[in-house]
Amino acid sequence: MKRAADIISRRDFLVSTGAVGGVLALPGCLTAGAARRVSPGEKLNIACVGVSGMGWADVQSLSTENIVALCDVDDRRAAKAHETFPKARCFKDYRVMLEKMAREIDAVSVSTPDHMHYPIALAAMQLRKHVYVQKPLANTIERARKLTDAARRYGVVTQMGIQIHSSENARLIREWYQGGVLGVVREVECWTDRPGWPQGMTGLPAAEPVPAGLAWDLWQGGATKYKYNKAYLPSVWRGWYAFGNGALGDMGCHLFDLITCAMELPPPSSIIAETSGISSVAYPASSKVTYEFPARGSQPPVVLTWSEGGRMPPRPPELEPERKFGGAMIGAVLRGDKATMLITDYSPRIIPESKMRELQSSLPPKTLHRVPGGDHYQNFIRACKGMEKPEAPFEYSGRLTEIVLAGAIAQRLPGRKLTYDPGKMKFTSGPTEANLLIHSPLPTA
């Protein structure tokens, strides 16, 4: 069998990363039929791509199964995983891993920077492997849709890494909202204390020597031809257009999940952003994004604002003077005509506290399915074994990602209202660049 680098051409690699249109062309010898059936009593064979940082947390959480392969472009940061799972085969290039171990893998976790989610997840699904992908699902709206379509086409189990989705708090927020506790909600205000990494850069940094053990070209994955600098990795890549989706792409996925799932929000009809500045390479240091969502059935339109980088919505008048407002990693206020909900670091309360006590005995019963232990990873594992449904399959998480990324596009074009047609996957008003950004994070006119 030839090496993957020989079988998969340079163009195919660029295709797989989305630098050009299309999908990854896998070698004919690696085509696969249906996913292997794994009984509840068996263990899955899991390959993990990206095994440091959040990837290390993912590997540990999935290690109730057989970790058979570890793939990371940085030997130093992957060392802990290599030492902990000495029986797992180690790779730097996910294509080589899939080529050599296609018949030994049942599922693949993808815990890389955002720009590599799409090619790795797509290649795994083409081989009929179940996939767990960290949020956001992809780094463009088009790629999120392609992954959603691929999951349906290949009939595999999928899950996006929005762990709070499987929590008790997520269930309570849905039950309280859908049970009418808040009444009619027309306004939602969200915020985060992020970014905790640099944003607002106006140019690319100077070249530095590539550290030993880091495969820099593989890390970029064909998305760019940037010269290495420690300003890109680790943990600081989110602020760059080429590799991440800023604070909104990070924490927005978690917070918007709680709200859009409870309120059953569709893609927005319009978005506009106010930012601290404009850059050709990086997300703004601070911003406020205003989404308008259309009516849903008997529910009226909703205006949702997202604030980051030190910006905060007005203090809710219902909140007691002695109670702190702000300082949380994430938060939200849902204003209803019957009651107001405050979400602080994923935990919901009705405010003021006197109103919470008043409503306590009349809160809706717990009718939604509870994930045992709120364990999002084990839910994925059980779903791969046919025991239950995944909580955040691409059919749902792809739509959530689309909502998040529409706001990230607006952050790059501040002060210009973008009207969105999700049916056509197109902005019908706004600058031409907005539609280019649906398809690529680095558009060329």
Instruction: Determine the pLDDT at residue 246.
Output: 98
From CA 147, how far away is CA 394, in angstroms rounded?
A: 7
Are 278 and 416 in a shared domain? yes
Are 150 and 175 in a shared domain? no
From CA 305, how far away is CA 327, in angstroms rounded?
A: 18
Indicate whether 234 belongs to any domain: no
Indicate whether 389 belongs to any domain: no
Angle between helices 75-84 and 54-62 (to 10 degrees): 20
Are 106 and 142 in a shared domain? yes
Indicate whether 365 belongs to any domain: yes
Are 160 and 266 in a shared domain? no
Indicate whether 114 belongs to any domain: yes
Are 276 and 417 in a shared domain? yes
Whichever domain contains 310, its CATH number is 3.30.360.10
Q: State the pTM of this model.
A: 0.93
Whichever domain contains 119, its CATH number is 3.40.50.720
Are 188 and 282 in a shared domain? yes
Residue whose tokens read 């800023």: 246
Are 122 and 178 in a shared domain? no
Indicate whether 335 belongs to any domain: yes
Are 253 and 365 in a shared domain? yes
pLDDT tens digits, residue range 127-154?
999 999 999 999 999 999 999 999 999 9
Indicate whether 66 belongs to any domain: yes
The secondary structure of the chain, three-state, reads CCCHHHHCCHHHHHHHHCCCCCCCCCCHHHCCCCCCCCCCCCCCEEEEECCCCHHHHHHHHHCCCEEEEEECCEHHHHHHHHHHCCCCEEECCHHHHHHHHCCCCCEEEECCCHHHHHHHHHHHHHCCCEEEEECCCCCCHHHHHHHHHHHHHHCCCEEEECHHHHCHHHHHHHHHHHCCCCCCEEEEEEEECCCCCCCCCCCCCCCCCCCCCECHHHHHCCCCCCCCCCCCCCCCHHHECCCCCHHHHHHHHHHHHHHHHHHCCCCCCEEEEEECCCCCCECCCCEEEEEEECCECCECCEEEEEEECCCCCCCCCCCCCCCCCCCCCEEEEEEECCCEEEEECCEEEEECHHHHHHHHHHCCCCCCCCCHHHCHHHHHHHHHCCCCCCCCCHHHHHHHHHHHHHHHHHHCCCCCCEEEECCCCEEEECCHHHHHHHHCCCCCC
Q: Provide the number of structural domains found in the chain.
A: 2
Among 138, 164, 190, the domain boundary falls at: 164
Among 118, 149, 164, the domain boundary falls at: 164
Paired with 282 in beta bridges are 240
Are 87 and 195 in a shared domain? no
Instruction: Determine the pLDDT at residue 33.
Output: 61
Indicate whether 208 belongs to any domain: no
Instruction: Determine the pLDDT at residue 12.
Output: 41
Are 154 and 40 in a shared domain? yes
Give every residue of the chain whose pLDDT is below 50, as ranges.
Answer: 1-30, 445
Instruction: Determine the pLDDT at residue 314.
Output: 96
Are 157 and 278 in a shared domain? no
Are 338 and 403 in a shared domain? yes
Structural domain span for residue 435: 167-199+243-370+394-439
Indicate whether 232 belongs to any domain: no
